[in-house]
Structure 1
Amino acid sequence: MERTREAPAREARPADRSGRPRAPRVHRAWWVAVAAVLAIVVAGSFTTLSGTLVDPLHGTFGWSRSTIGVAVSVNMALYGLIAPFAAALMDRFGVRRTVVAALAVLAAGALLTTVMAAAWQFTLFWGLLVGLGSGALAMTFAATVTQRWFVARRGLVTGILTAAGVFGQFVFLPVLSWTVERYGWRAALVTVALAALVLLPVVRLLLRDHPADVGLKPYGAGEFVPRPAPVPGAARRTVRVLLTTARTGPFWLLAGVFAVCGASTNGIMWSHFTPAAHDHGMAATTASSVLALIGVCNVAGTVASGWLTDRYDPRRLLAGYFVLRGVSLVLLPLLMSATVHLPLVLFAVCFGLLDVATVPPVIALCRDFYGADSAIVFGWVNAAHQVGAGLMAGLGGVVRDTFGTYDPVWTGSGALCAAAALLALVVRGRPAEAVNTATAANTEK
């Protein structure tokens, strides 16, 4: 029989006149959420920096863009694949330790990139290290924080944390681009590395692994929740959860829905909107401004989606998002022109509100179906998102070369969104308790 772990030392809280501990005015969960937001914002600034490095590295070292693209591809692949393993590491070693390690890896990868002299070093430092660090602080980190610290307002907090990643990707990008142009690409790398290092003590101060560590109930919980024991074998557990959940229908439905999400956002808009707009005579800088508007609207859309997820069926929300996204993509060829006009601005606003709005409902469905394993399951579902994005990014170029236009890409993406809406409506499965029981049974074998 396993020995019961000793309860962790609880932080002392001020007492009222009766001598009983006084509840804090602001629940500690919100300070944990603040620390998570800061970490996700900084990690997000690394993910969009890759695009600004291509031309400077080509000019400095003479490397071909395909050679530089290898490191960028490794970075993107690890960003998606490391997420489920990071969730298991947080269960094994704690959220705070994992986040601190990820920030340190990000800083190390960026600083080592400034002293590289060969293309393979760029793949190692930027592709491997930065890919690992940023992937560990992706959406599964947000799912873990909301799962442990919040019972009420989970959808809203999920939306805020998801929006933080988008905020970091787009708010820092103009500053980093200006830094590259004015002071060189090494200065930009040092800037993001310093941001990660400055954040380390802040994360150590604010972030805690579980409410029980500070003697609190999760926000909105009716009773105290003891901290679960560390789960050994993080890598084995991650694979085991995949093998178990792959036998359930909801996993494949959610993975299919999220693959379409990746294909119709990252895979098509971030890879092909600028060259498609250029085909219609629009300058690349103008097209980038449209994408920036989409990114700004992402924040409002994701937070609003989290609020809605707390109140409505996430399946219906997903279906509605995909229908509206599909309609906007089908209409996009009619809106393309050499200049930015009101209909195109309205498209950017609409698409931005819908772009990342799918994340809170998908996380909520993973939590409903897979309970304690939901963060890891969402990590694997998010990997399908990255696969869909990669396939569409490659297919879009093939379509352009074959037909001489991107119009079939927009129409095809709209059709995929319609299929995803139907898939979202039919997601059904066993309750989380049954799936967790099956997972536990497989663990004992």
Structure 2
Amino acid sequence: MPPRPTFAPTSRRPHPAWSVAAVAFLALVGAAGFRAAPSILIDPLHQDFGWSRASISSAVSINLVLYGLTSPFAAALMERFGMRRVVTAALLLVSAGSGLTVFMTAQWQLVLLWGVLVGLGTGSMALAFVATVVDRWFVARKGLVTGILTAGGAAGQLVFLPVLAMISERHSWQVVALTVAFAALAVVPLVLLFLRNRPSDIGAVPYGAGPDFVAPEVQAASGGAVRRALSVLASAARTRVFWLLAGTFAICGASTNGLVGTHFVPAAHDHGMPTTAAASLLAVIGIFDVLGTIASGWFTDRFDARKLLGTYYLLRGISLVFLPILFAESVHPPMIAFVIFYGLDWVATVPPTVALCRQHFGADSPIVFGWVLASHQIGAGIVAFLAGLVRDRFGGYDAAFFVAGGLCAIAAVMSLAIVGRRREAVAQ
């Protein structure tokens, strides 16, 4: 059994780790909503400026790639300067990038503002932030808390997408951009007031730690964040486990954020479905993702993470292969079944992937997971662009969904291949 929380015998107050997790959850909700907003702007921008969907998707691709590439450096910066400073700066970047979009007149400005600035900001509040919070503040219930915080991404889509779609239809895409900007600013005071960097800052120990707990040494104090992130990458890249995790997570990003997250709404709209209805379906995916990801965290505390990953990827691939035949002018029962099934699997892959990083890379795991997440977003960015190109060239998204399903089958095999590598590592 895990050690009992130090705070429990002396106070009925919740352990402060839960307050930190609550603020982190709120920041993650916002980051997911801010990053997902471009999916409902593809058609309005195409209509207002005449830009092709592929060119608009290129800005989304840059956003997705930077979201991932920023993550390991943000994790290292959190070691050096603290979570509160990094998350505050990230929210200010998102607000600036989204707010200034209303003044753009050229496509390169979309790339700079929504691609670069919002990508850097949301990337600093990505899933490596989850790993950092969990590793610093929790000894017990790591898998469950990872699942809950990861579900913040789903909740972000749940809160933002239907509202932003309605605003876009009733007003304009400019109002959507300003809404995102003000929402990001609104989170800043909460982060400054309640997010704490480490338990020792308030004289506490992590949740589940015993009285003899000794905090690990902060390795980034004597070197730069960039050097730290790159040195961890150099070490991890010498292992096969890292490349298997990076490869599977690249396919994860391609089949979620890159394809469904970016192109589900315009793909449904191609079949006559109203944008608000399609965005609402994507939000319902988010509802079931909350349930699926929390359940996945619970499973990860109890079962083999590699087998869980293989199962998740296989089921996701099957669902994507069937999606093209489910699009219609209105919502019907088979589409609802897809939304539930796919939603439960959306980011259920995160808790077991974080657990495998922790098992293999120890104290370096938040930064290693940051690099694994970078591969996730590179995969997402490539497919976000290619799917837009497929739509421009062939007039539909069917081929993109079929290819994504096949890639998920490959990811399932790669996940199971980690088993042999792990046993070798233990034997050594």
Measured against the shorter chain, the TM-score band is 0.7 to 0.9
Quote the residue 2:404 is aligned against. Answer: 413
User: Where does residue 250 of structure 2 map in the other structure?
Assistant: 259
**Residue matched to 2:214:** 225
SS at match of 2:418: coil
- Structure 2 residue matching 1:265: 3-state secondary structure: helix
Asked if residue 350 in structure 1 is aligned to residue 338 in structure 2, the reply is no
The whole-number CA distance in structure 2 between the counterparts of 1:417 and 1:184 is 37
Indicate the larger mover: 239-248 or 323-332: 323-332
The structural deviation recorded for 1:254 is: 0.6
The more displaced of 275-284 and 105-114 is 275-284
Q: Deviations over 1:289-312 (max 9, x none)?
A: 433322221111111111111121
Question: What value does the CA root-mean-square deviation take over the aligned residues?
Answer: 3.1
**Aligned AA for 1:167?**
A
Amino acid at match of 1:392: V
**Alpha-carbon distance in structure 2 between the residues aligned to 1:369 and 1:123:** 37
Aligned mates of 1:323, 1:225 — CA distance in 2: 41
Cα contact 2:316–2:342 (8 A) shared by 1: yes
**Structure 2 residue 69 is the aligned partner of structure 1 residue 81:** yes
- Could you tell me whether the CA contact under 8 Å between 1:212 and 1:225 is conserved in 2? no
Match of 1:204 in 2: 192
Alignment of 1:336-375 (within 5 A): 336-375=327-366
Seen in structure 2, the aligned counterparts of structure 1 residues 77 and 230 have a Cα distance that, compared at 3 Å, is same
Cα distance in 1 for partners of 2:47, 2:326 equals 36
Deviation at 1:321, TM superposition (A): 1.2
How many angstroms apart in 1 are the aligned matches of 2:402 and 2:106? Answer: 42
Give the number of aligned pairs: 415
Deviation by residue 1:25-51 (Cα, 9 ceiling, x = unmatched): 210000000110111112222112223
Structure 2 equivalent of residue 146 of structure 1: 134
Is 2:376 the counterpart of 1:385? yes
Does 1:245 pair with 2:236? yes
SS state at 2:362 partner: helix
**CA distances 1:173-227 after superposition (whole Å, capped 9, x unpaired):** 2222333344444433333222222222211221111111112121112232336
Please report how far the alpha carbon of residue 387 of structure 1 lies from its aligned counterpart in structure 2 after TM superposition.
2.4
Matched, 1:190 2:178: yes
AA partner of residue 154 (structure 1): K
Q: Mark the CA change 1:122 to 1:141 in structure 2 (over 3 Å): closer, same or farther.
A: same
Q: Which runs of 5+ in 1 are unaligned?
A: 1-13, 15-20, 435-445
Distance across 1 between alignment mates of 2:390 and 2:44: 29
Moved more, 213-222 or 320-329: 320-329
CA distance in 1, matches of 2:117, 2:402: 37
Inter-partner Cα distance in structure 1 for 2:302 and 2:230: 33
CA separation in 2, counterparts of 1:105 and 1:312?
A: 39
The answer to whether 1:235 aligns with 2:226 is: yes
CA–CA separation in structure 2 for the residues paired with 1:419 and 1:63 = 35
What CA distance in whole angstroms lies between the structure 2 residues aligned with 1:26 and 1:115?
46
**Aligned partners of 1:140 and 1:375 also within 8 Å:** yes
Alpha-carbon distance between aligned partners in 1 of 2:224 and 2:244, rounded to the nearest angstrom:
28
Q: 1:271 to 1:50 in 2, by over 3 A?
A: closer
Counterpart in the other structure of 2:3: none
CA contact (8 A) 2:258 2:381 kept: yes
Are 1:212 and 1:227, in contact at CA under 8 Å, matched by a contact in 2? no
TM-score, structure 1 length as denominator? Answer: 0.83
- Give the aligned partner of residue 300 of structure 2: 309
Shift of 1:319: 1.4
Deviation at 1:378, TM superposition (A): 1.0
Instruction: Select 1:104's aligned residue among 92, 98, 113.
Output: 92
For the pair 1:36 / 2:36, whether they are aligned, the reply is no
- 1:93 counterpart = 2:81: yes
- For 1:44 and 1:66, the matched residues in 2 are separated by 22
Q: Percentage identity across aligned positions?
A: 56
Matches of 1:152 and 1:290, distance apart in 2: 35
Q: Which has the higher relative contact order, 1 or 2, with Cα contacts under 8 A spaced 6 or more apart?
A: 2
Give the partner amino acid of 2:260. M
Q: Please tell me whether the aligned partners of residues 210 and 227 of structure 1 are also in contact (alpha carbons under 8 angstroms).
A: no
Describe the SS at the equivalent of 1:247.
coil
Answer yes or no: is 1:125 the counterpart of 2:116. Answer: no
1:9 aligned residue: none
Find 2:163's aligned residue among 171, 175, 191.
175
The C-alpha deviation readout for 1:109-141, integer Å capped at 9, x for no partner, is 233334445544443333222111111001111
Greater mean alpha carbon deviation, residues 61-70 or residues 285-294: 61-70
Question: What stretches of structure 2 of length at least 5 have no aligned partner?
Answer: 1-6
Aligned-pair CA distance for 1:89 = 0.5
Q: Quick check: 1:213–1:227 contact (8 Å CA) kept in 2? A: no
CA contact (8 A) 1:83 1:140 kept: yes
2:4 corresponding residue in structure 1: none
Of the two, which has the highest radius of gyration? 1
Q: Distance in 2 between matches of 1:53 and 1:80?
A: 21
Matched, 1:27 2:15: yes
1:328-371 residue CA offsets vs partner (Å, 9 max, x unmatched)? 23344554555433222112101110111011110111111111
